[in-house]
Amino acid sequence: MSQNQIVTIIVSLALSSIANGHAKLSNNTFQPKATFNSPLPRTNSDSAKLQSHPCGGVEKSATTPITDYEIGKQISVEWEETIDHNGYYLLDLSKDNGVTWIPLKNPLGQNIGQVTDTPGNVNQGNPATYHRYTQNVVLPSETCPSCILRMRQFMEGRPNDPYYFSCADIRILATTPPPPPVDPMPPAPPPASGNNGGNTSQSSTANNGGAKFSSCGIINNSYRGGGLPPGTTLAIVTLFLFPLLLLQALRPERARRRKNL
């Protein structure tokens, strides 16, 4: 093997080790969704470190997730270390697409400074060994239609490229985003149409419009059948029988009076 080949191999190994990722914002792979309110990162990659770009070289795209929050809301920013390295973490926010950055504040209103790295063994291929970090943050009390929340990892012993970056796109709104609309109730089915022997039944509301009134109340005029209306025969029989029944009832009284005479 020539000397040039050896140098090439060494350089390749060095570059590959540098390219390995170190830390990134969490994409909720280890916590129940109901308790997770950390912004989702632009990418799940942990190797964004381009110094000339505010997010390490990861641009916002049409599929980038955007998380909505209410002004002044307290959230828990979560990230994970995939390769152990001594150093610390910084959290900041940009309102002008990465031109300027401001430090985020904790619930006490203080700027969040350096979050110390936790030493320990981390296996890059085993998420169960990643170091998990959580920092409570209070968002600004003003709206921001397009903000970037950024986590930076500072690595000791790397003077030329000491940072890894992980960004999330968020919107800070005046009010809590409304829930998705609920599907409307399906319309009620139309009433079933009945024949009833050829006679159409009318509702009480429709009948009242053409009702006839007497001293006894409303006379229902919904009858449309042939012959006498219902109840007419009973009324005629009662009309003829009533005098006979009355005479029969008065007969004992008249007999008593004749006897007294």
User: Which pLDDT belongs to residue 12?
Assistant: 34
User: Which pLDDT belongs to residue 55?
Assistant: 92
- Is there a contact between 154 and 162 (Cβ–Cβ < 8 Å)? yes
- Is there a contact between 45 and 32 (Cβ–Cβ < 8 Å)? no
Structural domains for the chain: 22-173 (2.60.40.10)
Q: Token pair 């219902």 is at which residue?
A: 230
User: Which pLDDT belongs to residue 206?
Assistant: 42
- Is there a contact between 91 and 144 (Cβ–Cβ < 8 Å)? no
Q: How confident is the model over 125-163, as pLDDT tens digits?
A: 777 788 889 999 999 999 999 999 999 999 888 777 788
> Cα–Cα distance between 100 and 53 in angstroms, integer?
12
> Cα–Cα distance between 150 and 130 in angstroms, integer?
19
User: Which pLDDT belongs to residue 6?
Assistant: 38
User: Which pLDDT belongs to residue 84?
Assistant: 83
Enter the tokens of residue 48. Answer: 């964004």
> Cα–Cα distance between 121 and 129 in angstroms, integer?
8
> Cα–Cα distance between 79 and 150 in angstroms, integer?
11
- Is there a contact between 112 and 134 (Cβ–Cβ < 8 Å)? no
Q: Which residues of the chain have pLDDT under 70?
A: 1-21, 28-35, 123-124, 176-187, 193-235, 237-238, 253-255, 258-261
User: Which pLDDT belongs to residue 19?
Assistant: 37
Bridge partners of residue 74, in order along the sequence: 138
> Cα–Cα distance between 229 and 231 in angstroms, integer?
6
- Is there a contact between 58 and 45 (Cβ–Cβ < 8 Å)? yes
β-pairing, 217-219 vs 87-94, is unpaired
Residues contacting residue 191 through CB under 8 Å, at least 6 positions apart: none
Burial 226-260 (b: 16+ CB within 10 A, else e): eeeeeeeeeeeeeeeeeeeeeeeeeeeeeeeeeee
Identify the three-state secondary structure at position 17.
helix
User: Which pLDDT belongs to residue 144?
Assistant: 96
β-pairing, 87-94 vs 115-116, is antiparallel
Neighbours of 184 (CB within 10 A): 6
Bridge partners of residue 102, in order along the sequence: 93
User: Which pLDDT belongs to residue 242?
Assistant: 72
Q: How confident is the model over 156-188, as pLDDT tens digits?
A: 887 777 888 999 999 999 986 666 566 666 667
- Is there a contact between 30 and 127 (Cβ–Cβ < 8 Å)? yes
> Cα–Cα distance between 119 and 47 in angstroms, integer?
19
Distance, C-alpha 223 to centroid of its chain? 56
